[in-house]
C-alpha cells in the first residue's frame, strides 16, 4: 500500500540535495533510477529518493535544517519534493514514521496522504503507521487534520485517531495514554 505525504511547494529541482541521513541502523537503501544503493549515516538525501528500511532497521533523516523524519523497520518513503522552510511532498508507502519539527520552528505546510487518508500538517511532531490493528496517527505537539472516507478530524497535542481500513473514516479523536504512546514510538525504534 502506498501512503503519500504531500507538502505544497513548487520550484524544487529534481535530484537536488535536500537533507542528510543522520543515523542508520540495519539495512537502509535508496532506490533511484531502478538502482538500489545502501544509505549510510552522513549520506545526502536527494529530491525524488525512495528510501526503504529493512527488517529490524531504522533511519533518522533531516530535511532542510529542522525537519526530522524517523523511519521504523520495513518502511518505504518517497521524498517527492522538499524545499527547506517551505515544505514538499513525501509519500509513505508501508511502515511507520515520526515526523518532527521543533516547537517554535517556522511553520511549513505539509500534507501526509496515505492509502488510509490524508494528514494536513503545519509544524508539529506526530507518529503515523500501524498500531493496534489500525493505521494510527498520534500528535505529540502541534496539530494535524486527518481526512479519510469523506470525514476530516482535527487532532491536537496528546490526541490520536485510528483508521481501520483504506478509505474508511478516521475514528473519533481520543487522548492516548502513556502505554500506547510508548508502544507507537518504540515501533519506530525511538525509546
Q: What is the pLDDT of residues 11-40, one digit of tens each?
A: 334 578 889 999 999 999 998 777 889 999
Q: What's the pLDDT tens digit per position in 121-139?
A: 877 899 999 999 999 999 9
**pLDDT recorded at residue 164:** 97
Segment of 2-16, 33-47, 162-176 carrying the highest mean pLDDT: 162-176
Q: What angle do CA 23, 94, 33 make, to 5 degrees?
A: 75
pLDDT above 70 as % of the chain: 91
Nearest Cα to Cα of residue 94 among 71, 117, 111: 71
For residue 166 the three cell numbers come to 483504506
Query: 109: burial class by Cβ within 10 Å (0-12, 13-18, 19+)?
Result: middle
DSSP three-state, residue 182: helix
Cβ-Cβ contacts under 8 Å for 133 (sequence gap 6 or more): 164
Query: Is residue 115's pLDDT more than 50?
Result: yes
Q: What is the CATH number of the domain that holds 127?
A: 2.60.120.1440
Cβ-Cβ contacts under 8 Å for 127 (sequence gap 6 or more): 96, 97, 98, 136, 137, 138, 140, 160, 184, 185, 188
Cβ-Cβ contacts under 8 Å for 10 (sequence gap 6 or more): none
DSSP letters, 116-182, are TEEEEEES-EEEEEEETTEEEEEEEESEEEEEETTEEEEEETTEEEEE-STTPPPPPPEEPPHHHHH
Average pLDDT of the segment spanning 106-126 = 81
Query: Is residue 173's pLDDT more than 90?
Result: yes
Count of beta carbons in the 10 Å neighbourhood of residue 165: 11
Count of beta carbons in the 10 Å neighbourhood of residue 110: 26
Q: Is the separation of the CB atoms in 48 and 80 below 8 Å?
A: yes
**pLDDT recorded at residue 14:** 55
Between 35 and 158, the more confident residue is: 158
Average pLDDT of the segment spanning 105-118 = 80
Q: Which of 60-64, 92-96, 122-126, 159-163 has the lowest mean pLDDT?
A: 122-126
Q: Please, what is the average pLDDT of the chain?
A: 87
Q: What's the pLDDT tens digit per position in 37-80?
A: 999 999 999 888 899 999 999 999 998 888 899 999 999 998 87
Range of the domain at 164: 4-188
Q: Tally the domains of the chain.
A: 1
Amino acid at each position: 500500500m502506498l501512503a503519500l505525504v504531500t507538502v505544497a511547494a513548487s520550484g524544487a529541482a529534481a535530484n537536488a540535495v535536500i537533507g542528510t541521513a543522520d543515523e542508520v541502523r540495519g539495512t537502509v537503501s535508496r532506490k533511484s533510477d531502478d538502482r538500489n544503493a545502501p544509505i549510510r549515516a552522513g549520506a545526502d538525501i536527494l529530491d525524488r529518493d525512495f528510501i526503504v528500511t529493512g527488517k529490524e532497521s531504522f533511519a533518522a533523516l533531516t530535511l532542510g535544517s529542522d525537519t526530522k523524519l524517523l523511519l521504523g523497520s520495513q518502511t518505504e518513503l518517497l521524498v517527492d519534493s522538499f524545499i527547506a522552510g517551505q515544505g514538499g511532498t513525501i509519500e509513505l508507502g508501508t511502515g511507520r514514521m515520526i515526523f518532527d519539527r521543533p516547537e517554535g520552528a517556522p511553520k511549513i505546510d505539509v500534507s501526509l496522504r496515505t492509502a488510509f487518508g490524508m494528514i494536513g500538517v503545519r509544524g508539529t511532531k506526530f507518529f503515523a503507521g500501524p498500531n493496534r490493528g489500525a493505521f494510527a496517527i498520534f500528535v505529540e505537539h502541534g496539530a494535524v487534520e486527518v481526512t479519510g472516507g469523506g470525514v476530516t478530524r482535527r487532532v491536537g497535542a496528546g490526541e490520536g485517531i485510528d483508521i481501520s481500513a483504506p478509505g474508511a473514516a478516521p475514528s473519533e479523536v481520543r487522548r492516548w495514554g502513556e502505554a500506547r504512546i510508548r508502544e507507537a514510538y518504540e515501533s519506530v525504534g525511538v525509546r
